[in-house]
Amino acid sequence: MNKAMICDSVRATKAKAYYTREECVAFHKSHTIPARTKIWIGRLSMASLLAIGTDLRHDLPDTPNVGRGRATTLVVGHLAIQVFASHALPEHSARAEGDLAALSNTQPKPGDWESFLIRTWPVGSRPVSWPPLKTFTNGGVDSIAYLMGRWKTGDAAVGQLTEDS
């Protein structure tokens, strides 16, 4: 989470920063991960170093552009980490919490993500087993580019919410 926040903070303009100052301070002081954040880990067949972020727009079935998200993909050596976070836009922050909780249920592109990634946050009830069944490669259909493009679902990077979210 720390590296995702650092990568976000080095953008060209602070006006475009995704994580709020309050979220950064809370993480620094008490390791509080922002609400509506998910984290996964995977493995890479070759050692590499990468940090890339993807901005997302969230639409609900009845309201377009209700929030924004940030998917950060980090690779250090053979370890791949992906952090996905969602925020409601200020003009929608008064919506019912159930509506805003739907932002957490944004779905990536269809894919065999369960075989490549292990969710580490929020902590689930089942034990984590390493390594994942599949490994990202340097090229082809299982490449690290597959993970980097996980949340890009149209002409723009737009996270799609499921109807039952």
Q: What are the tens digits of pLDDT across the range 26-58?
A: 999 999 999 889 999 999 999 999 999 888 887
What residues are paired with 98 via a beta bridge?
A: none
Q: How far is Cα 152 from Cα 145, in angstroms, rounded to an integer?
A: 11
DSSP 99-130: HHHGGGGEE-SSS-HHHH-EEEES--SSPP-S
Q: When comparing pLDDT for 142 and 16, which is higher? A: 142
pLDDT-derived band at 151 (thresholds 50, 70, 90) equals: confident
Residue 161 pLDDT > 60, yes or no? Answer: no
Residue 165 pLDDT > 50, yes or no? Answer: no
**Full-model pTM:** 0.83
Condensed to tens digits (0 to 9), the pLDDT of residues 67-88 reads 888 999 999 999 999 999 988 8
Q: How far does the chain reach from its first CA to its final CA, in angstroms?
A: 25
